[in-house]
Amino acid sequence: MTADVAAVRYPSTAAAVTGTLDAVFDALPPDVAREVPLLVLADAYSRWAAARFARRCDEVGRQVRPSDSTGLETAELVRRFGRARGWLGPCFLVARVDSAHGLRLARAMAARGPVVMCQVSPLDLDSLTDPGCVVTAAVVTAADDWDPALLDSGLPEMSGARP
Q: Which strand (E) or helix (H) includes residue 92? A: strand 91-94
pLDDT per position as a tens digit, 27-75: 999 999 999 999 999 888 888 887 777 777 776 776 766 665 555 677 8
d(C-alpha 17, C-alpha 61), whole Å: 33
How far is residue 133 CA from its own chain's centroid?
A: 9
What was the pLDDT predicted at 97?
A: 85
Q: How confident is the model at residue 2 (pLDDT cuts 50, 70, 90)?
A: very low
What is the spatial distance between Cα 28 and Cα 80, in angstroms, rounded to a whole number?
A: 19
Over the stretch 82-120, which tens digit does the pLDDT of each residue have?
A: 999 999 999 999 988 888 888 888 988 998 899 999 998
Name beta bridge partners: 122.
Answer: 133
